[in-house]
Structure 1
Amino acid sequence: MPTSATVRPTTPPTVWLARGRHTGPAAEDVLRRSLQQRKDIRAIDDFLEVPASGEDSSERVFEARWQVPDRVIVRARLSLARGSGGEREWTLLAEAEQPWEPAWPSPAAVFWPQEPDAGWDHDAVTGLSLSRINPLPDDDKAVRRLLRHSARSGWNIHVVVHEAMTTDERGRLPLARWLPPSLRHRVVEHRAAPQQLRVVNWALRDHGVEVPRGGAVVLPGAPVPSGYDARDFSVRAVFLDGAEPADLTAAVTRFAALPRPLPDGAGDALAALREEWHLPTMEEELDRQRKLVAMYAEALEAMTKSRDLYREAAEHAHEALAAYRETAGTLAGPAQPQAASPLQQLTRTLERLKGTARALRPAALAEPDRDREREGREPDDRERADREPAHLEGGAAEPAGAER
């Protein structure tokens, strides 16, 4: 038996899900009329067409809320997406406040009209009817291709019934009429002609199931539900005489009760149902308003506390500043001259030394020295004698040219 390599979350017991195809025109208008009729007769509490997220959005979403026996509230969300050839594929998930009961109405019957040939009750994978018998095609390759796709389907339940002999009108009654209401739009019934038994079992051998001659089998789907055993969901004989096929309906009901992994795309649809819900009850709306009031009250209280703390801190800062100014005014003495920096003191000392040196040197000596320094030579003896004053011991200097 093939198993899925990826571990997926199990479908919650409160959830009903199905996927189909609408082959007729104007699927949105059909839904609007059907839901409005349900609301007018009070079969549902309310419904809503969720505004499109963008101008060119091709998806349409409808929500509805109703109650089942014991006042259990059901919330359902149906999304329409573009399919091939102008068809619309629909995905429908419903969740109740309690585990889902098979006797509750089918959510598909709540959204869609129950008129013959309404165009919406087709399987999304195979395009086959969800409420009528679907004879297998005559071509063997088409049979194998169809059953392989059906065996991999995870949204709806596929059942293969083999006719041991050609039946009359009494044997052409669909299985859906005997199923519980919640299963009537989730089951695809395939009918194999007497000569097709071999090709049917050849197509299903990779999935580990086999159709008994004149019997039926419930296909495992993908991923395979935990606890699925082909022998438990295989019926040895189905009497197609117009009577209820009790063994087959029991097998289908047991299969639907298995904990099944969420099929592809069901996780996102379930998250959208729970997180993007737009139709709260009155109690839920009151509870939401109370929570908003409580949240605003907490925010206001926090702002008030923050304002008081800020004001108190500002007052403390002003008091500290005033105290500091008062203390500084008391301790301050007469103004003292600003002390000179060490560089300024050194400069002033050098200037004083320079002035003292100039005062000690005669001006007369300064000029020749400067000339000599400029010429780069020492004074000779005559120059020294001319500059030196004549000293006479005991008398005055003789004038030049005097006779002795």
Structure 2
Amino acid sequence: MPTSPTVRPTTPPTVWLARGRHLGSAAEDVVLRTLRRLKDSQVVDDFLELPEAEGARERVVEARWRAPGEVIVRARLALARASGGGQEWTLAAEAEQPWDPAWPSPATMFWPDDPDTTWDRDPATGLRFRGSNPLPDDEKDIRRVLRAALRSPWNTHFVVHEAMTPDHRGREPLVRWLPPGLRHRVVEHRAAPQQLRVVNWVLEDFGVQVPRGGAVVLPGTPVPDDYEARDFAVRSVFLDGSEPTELIAVLTAFAALPRPLPKGGEEALTGLREEWHLLTLEEELARERRLVAMYAEALEAMTKSRDLYREAAERAHEALAAYRESAGTAPVRQPSDAHPPSPLRQLTRTLERLKGSARTLRPFPAGGASGKGDGEDHPPARAAGADSGSGSPTTTGAGDGPDRPAGITGAREG
């Protein structure tokens, strides 16, 4: 059995969904007239046509009524232009309790329950909800209709095989025996006696077969998890005008299966729940109270966040001030080696200091540029020689002290 590749949320048991097509062009006027009439007769509590937004592709009408047992039902009908002509409608309704198929159909709250109106067309096949729809004569058209029915995501389709041509009583639609909550979501297909082979050949690819003289409920798309073709097939259906109790039971059981929301159903349900405008005075008061509580919680969270931020900032300033104070009073320490110097290194440093001292204490030679070796009181020898006008370096001057041997001077002179 083919299944849908995408996993969608399951339709809640309190929700009623349907989609159809209105063949005329004045669908909105028909809906408003029906709602106004039902409100005057107190069947509908109230309804509201939402203002048309700029650039909107659909018109929305809301309605509220009470199911048996004073169960409040809220419904939202969206009208949009269909590609093949007419207007397509999507109806989502939700009750305060799980939906009972015996409750009135939400479709009859918006549309007139008149057999001559043209609002009850299935968008997948173009066939009527409330009618008995014979399959086409051409095999190609039969394949097209059945494949469209098998891929229908919104409504339920079933095929009945006529073992023999029925009379006028047998041609009456079988959907009229369905509970009110199912009549406008089920499409009935009739296969003539000679069409059984073609029908089963088309359905074989989907694991479905129609018993001769019986009926089968098609799985649709997406296929419910608990669907088994043999559980939703009826071996014989008597087309004599009597109620087909076994077929009605099978259709009711199929409608009760948990089914994924069809494509577009999630948006319709979200619009019903989150964009609802038709409120009573009590509901408006409750909504305002919820808004006030929400704003109070948001304000409290903002205040708490502000206080926490302020406390963190104050602590940061205190820590910074303490750090600056400790940094100003602490003595400046010179960087030191991680390990004490070794004795060899101390000895090397001592020798370097002694070497520097020895260089400063070493005397200049006699022929040097200065006579500071014998004392600071004697004038330089080179200056004395310059005054006598002699260029000989052997001239006796202040550099010859009493302790200096005379032979040294004589040797330099010779």
Which bracket does the TM-score occupy, shorter chain normalised?
0.7 to 0.9
Kindly state the Cα deviation for residue 51 of structure 1 after the two structures are TM-superposed. Answer: 1.3
Runs of 4+ in structure 1 over 6 Å off: 296-308
Q: Which residue of 2 aligns with 1:276?
A: 275
CA RMSD of aligned residues (A): 2.9
Higher helix share: 1
Alignment of 1:64-103 (within 5 A): 64-103=63-102
Alignment of 1:376-391 (within 5 A): none
1:265 aligns with 2:264: yes
Distance 2:150 2:300 in 1: 61
Q: Secondary structure at the match of 1:73?
A: strand
Kindly state the Cα deviation for residue 296 of structure 1 after the two structures are TM-superposed. Answer: 6.2
Distance 1:182 1:292 in 2: 36
Kindly state the Cα deviation for residue 39 of structure 1 after the two structures are TM-superposed. Answer: 0.9
**Cα distance per residue 1:318-373 (max 9 Å; x no partner):** xxxxxxxxxxxxxxxxxxxxxxxxxxxxxxxxxxxxxxxxxxxxxxxxxxxxxxxx
Q: Which residue of 1 aligns with 2:379?
A: none
1:5 aligns with 2:5: yes
Aligned residues: 319
Distance 1:231 1:297 in 2: 58
Q: Which residue of 2 aligns with 1:168?
A: 167
Kindly state the Cα deviation for residue 25 of structure 1 after the two structures are TM-superposed. Answer: 2.7
Distance 1:303 1:3 in 2: 49
One-letter amino acid matched to 1:278: H
Alignment of 1:200-239 (within 5 A): 200-239=199-238
Q: Secondary structure at the match of 1:181?
A: coil
Kindly state the Cα deviation for residue 67 of structure 1 after the two structures are TM-superposed. Answer: 0.9
Kindly state the Cα deviation for residue 301 of structure 1 after the two structures are TM-superposed. Answer: 8.5
One-letter amino acid matched to 1:251: V
Kindly state the Cα deviation for residue 17 of structure 1 after the two structures are TM-superposed. Answer: 0.5
Kindly state the Cα deviation for residue 291 of structure 1 after the two structures are TM-superposed. Answer: 2.9
Q: Secondary structure at the match of 1:170?
A: coil
Alignment of 1:79-228 (within 5 A): 79-228=78-227
Q: Percent identity?
A: 71
> Is this contact kept in 2: 1:105–1:181, CA < 8 A?
yes
Distance 1:226 1:201 in 2: 23
Distance 1:79 1:199 in 2: 38
TM-score normalised by L of structure 1: 0.73
TM-score normalised by L of structure 2: 0.71
One-letter amino acid matched to 1:281: T
Distance 1:161 1:306 in 2: 68
Q: Which residue of 2 aligns with 1:48?
A: 48
**Cα distance per residue 1:243-296 (max 9 Å; x no partner):** 000110000000000001111111111111111011123332121222344456
Q: Return 5+ residue gaps in structure 2 as ranges.
A: 308-414
Kindly state the Cα deviation for residue 154 of structure 1 after the two structures are TM-superposed. Answer: 1.7
Q: Return 5+ residue gaps in structure 1 as ranges.
A: 309-404
One-letter amino acid matched to 2:263: D
Task: Indicate how the Cα distance of structure 1 residues 296 and 3 shifts in structure 2: closer, same or farther if over 3 A, else same.
Answer: closer
Kindly state the Cα deviation for residue 175 of structure 1 after the two structures are TM-superposed. Answer: 1.4
Q: Which residue of 2 aligns with 1:30?
A: 30
Kindly state the Cα deviation for residue 298 of structure 1 after the two structures are TM-superposed. Answer: 6.8
**Cα distance per residue 1:169-201 (max 9 Å; x no partner):** 110111121100100101100000000000000
Q: Secondary structure at the match of 2:19?
A: strand
Task: Indicate how the Cα distance of structure 1 residues 4 and 294 shifts in structure 2: closer, same or farther if over 3 A, else same.
Answer: closer
Distance 2:100 2:299 in 1: 47
One-letter amino acid matched to 2:233: S
Kindly state the Cα deviation for residue 300 of structure 1 after the two structures are TM-superposed. Answer: 8.4
Distance 2:231 2:99 in 1: 23
Distance 2:10 2:300 in 1: 44
One-letter amino acid matched to 2:18: A
Distance 2:87 2:244 in 1: 33
> Is this contact kept in 2: 1:24–1:118, CA < 8 A?
no
Task: Indicate how the Cα distance of structure 1 residues 156 and 305 shifts in structure 2: closer, same or farther if over 3 A, else same.
Answer: closer
